[in-house]
């Protein structure tokens, strides 16, 4: 229900309702998770913003996108089945080291455009991508111990990363005339903020379990006589929410092997496969659809959404794309910050709306029927709102509806959908942009060749 606007007679009621929304929120938890979301995602955005400087004008920028996404996707695909063996404090150290090393490799490699130099830079991009993927599934799993405000803060931080990353790179390299090399070198120190957020700001009490608590995800019974679709039940000895903690690498992860003689690790892997299958249709698929649609728009369609300069506020065609990107990021930030106020429970509906946006904008790129640039801006903003809303609502639904013994794994495993969607969109967009541009040129609109 929308909050009433403050007036002379309702101001106190308005602020009372605002306070009620945030009742029980721990400022330290909110600050820590907002910074986790910001720093974990901001390097991803910075790398994409610097794509032209990294590979030059003659190499498709989709190469940078894929190098920035595929390692993250593979990490999210595989890591949920073993990462619970690694305590959170060690994970943070590993992710920060990978991010910093990746950015240093990118920044310190000579600014040349030959194949060898670009390959070295892409290796640095992939290191940062590994850190981003592992960080996302870990921090989403960590929200399991801190509740809805942690998840809302994480979502808002990831939305802010788009604005901060793109804006900071543009300000440093354009307004302040700092070289791309020095700008990237400065950004390589950002992961230190993640260390401070975890070890200084975040209250670590919820992660400190007694020695009797076992390692890893909370256990589930595994019985070969049960049907694979039967609901998984938590093992009595692992009933605590604190079963996975900072100290979770000291013991076993799942219930002991039963009379069938299978090792406990195999039993746990089988249990998690069943968990993952149960997540696909309610959570993974709608998130996957949203990301395929919106990144195909952003990378494949948006570069062709051009109008005559005389009917736009710009002096050059390259400004269209950067403006669309900024408007999209504003929409994402707003919607990813909206969890305390707005919740979407039916995830497929906004996913299909996003696919409709892709169809609409692709049709316009082909047939030129939208009246002006500003209408496209509204649609791009709406695209960002839908994408961010489905992202945060998906993980909020998991937090609400998945049993606590499955929740930490489920939050991490579902995060594979966004990277998977971006990977698919990256490959599609490399072909789609070329095809749309060729279509426009054949029909007398040559704007895409004038950038």
pLDDT digits (tens, 9 = 90+) for 2-44: 555 555 556 666 556 555 555 567 899 999 999 999 999 999 9
Which residue carries 């390959």 as its tokens? Answer: 119
Question: Alpha-carbon torsion 377, 378, 382, 385, what sign?
Answer: positive
Winning range, highest mean pLDDT, from 161-175, 233-247, 371-385: 371-385
- What is the model's pLDDT at position 451? 57
- What is the model's pLDDT at position 160? 93
Domains of the chain: 25-209+267-443 (1.20.1250.20)
- What is the model's pLDDT at position 206? 75
Please give the Cα distance from 334 to 387 (Å, whole number).
11
Which two structure tokens, joined as six digits, stand for 110? 């000579």
**What are the backbone angles phi and psi of residue 221, rounded to the nearest 5°?**
-65, 140
Please give the Cα distance from 113 to 106 (Å, whole number).
13
- Please state the pTM of the whole predicted model: 0.78
* pLDDT band at residue 293 under the 50/70/90 scheme: very high
The larger pLDDT score, comparing residue 295 to residue 254, is at 295
Backbone region of residue 151 per phi and psi (left: phi > 0; alpha: psi in -120 to 50; beta: other values): alpha
pLDDT digits (tens, 9 = 90+) for 407-434: 888 988 898 899 899 999 988 988 888 8
């Amino acid at each position: 229900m929308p909050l009433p606007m403050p007036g002379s007679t309702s101001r106190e009621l308005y602020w009372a309702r605002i306070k009620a929304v945030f009742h029980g929120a721990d400022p330290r938890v909110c600050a820590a998770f907002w910074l986790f979301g910001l720093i974990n995602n901001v390097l991803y955005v910075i790398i994409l913003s610097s794509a032209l400087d990294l590979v030059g004008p003659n190499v498709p920028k989709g190469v940078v996108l894929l190098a920035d996404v595929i390692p993250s996707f593979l990490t999210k695909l595989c890591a949920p089945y073993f990462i619970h063996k690694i305590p959170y404090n060690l994970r943070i150290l590993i992710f920060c080291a990978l991010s910093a090393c990746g950015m240093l490799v990118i920044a310190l490699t000579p600014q040349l455009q030959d194949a060898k130099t670009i390959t070295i830079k892409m290796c640095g991009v992939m290191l940062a991508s590994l850190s981003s993927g592992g960080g996302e599934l870990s921090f989403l799993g960590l929200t399991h111990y801190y509740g809805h405000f942690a998840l809302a803060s994480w979502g808002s931080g990831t939305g802010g990363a788009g604005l901060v990353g793109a804006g900071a790179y543009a300000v440093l390299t354009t307004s302040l005339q700092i070289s791309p090399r020095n700008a990237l070198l400065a950004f390589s120190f950002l992961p230190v903020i993640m260390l401070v957020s975890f070890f200084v700001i975040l209250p670590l009490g919820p992660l400190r379990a007694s020695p009797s608590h076992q390692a890893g995800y909370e256990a589930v019974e595994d019985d070969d006589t049960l049907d694979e679709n039967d609901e998984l039940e938590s093992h009595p000895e692992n009933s605590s929410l604190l079963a996975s903690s900072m100290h979770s690498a000291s013991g076993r992860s799942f219930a002991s092997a039963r009379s069938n003689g299978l090792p406990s690790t195999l039993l746990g892997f089988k249990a998690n496969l069943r968990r993952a299958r149960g997540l696909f249709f309610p959570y993974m698929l709608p998130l996957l659809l949203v990301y395929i649609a919106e990144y195909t728009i952003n990378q494949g369609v948006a570069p062709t959404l051009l109008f005559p300069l005389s009917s736009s506020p710009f002096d050059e065609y390259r400004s269209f794309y950067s403006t669309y990107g900024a408007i999209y990021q504003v929409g994402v930030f707003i919607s990813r910050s909206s969890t305390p106020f707005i919740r979407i429970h039916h995830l497929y509906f906004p996913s299909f709306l996003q696919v409709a946006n892709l169809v609409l904008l692709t049709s316009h790129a082909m047939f030129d029927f939208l009246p002006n640039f500003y209408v496209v801006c509204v649609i791009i903003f709406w695209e960002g709102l839908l994408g961010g809303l489905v992202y945060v609502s998906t993980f909020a639904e998991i937090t609400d509806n998945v049993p606590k013994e499955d929740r930490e794994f489920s939050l991490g495993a579902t995060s594979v959908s966004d990277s998977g969607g971006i990977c698919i969109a990256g490959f599609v967009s490399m072909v789609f942009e070329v095809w749309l541009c060729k279509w426009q040129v054949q029909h007398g609109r040559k704007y895409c060749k004038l950038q």
